[in-house]
Amino acid sequence: MSAITTHILDTSLGRPAEGVSIVLEIEMGEDNWEEIGRGVTDKDGRLRTLISSDARLHTGVYRINFDVAEYFAKQEKESFYTVISIVFVVRDAAEHYHVPLLLNPFGYSTYRGS
């Protein structure tokens, strides 16, 4: 499992959000981001391989971008959001970081999971 994982639940349907494209970036300087991982959520709404399992996590600021416009377009649903970006800090590179997203077409919530 990668050091950073995510899970998306579509609260409007009451089930996992399958097929959401995700990009993980690390901040390299002021307004300068470098992509370090990408993938698509599986049938359980999870992305366990966001970064390689042998990649070392570093302290710093990370950003996960969720392409929710594409996800809702596949369902033929209108969405207020196109991309949801969650920016968070890794203070201890030895820990695992799980960043879940609770999603619906007109709102979202997130938290640090386990």
Distance CA 75, CA 85 (A): 21
> Which of 69, 20, 70, 68 is CA-nearest to residue 45?
20
Span 83-87, average pLDDT:
98
Quote the pLDDT of residue 46. 96
Is the pLDDT at 54 greater than 80? The verdict is no
pTM of the full structure: 0.93
Quote the pLDDT of residue 64. 98
Largest CA distance in the chain: 41
Q: Going along 15-90, which residue ranges are E strands?
A: 15-16, 21-29, 32-40, 46-47, 60-67, 83-90
Distance CA 91, CA 89 (A): 6
Quote the pLDDT of residue 32. 94
Averaged pLDDT score across all residues of the chain: 94
Span 72-90, average pLDDT:
96
Domains assigned to the chain:
4-110 (2.60.40.180)
Span 6-29, average pLDDT:
96
Quote the pLDDT of residue 30. 85
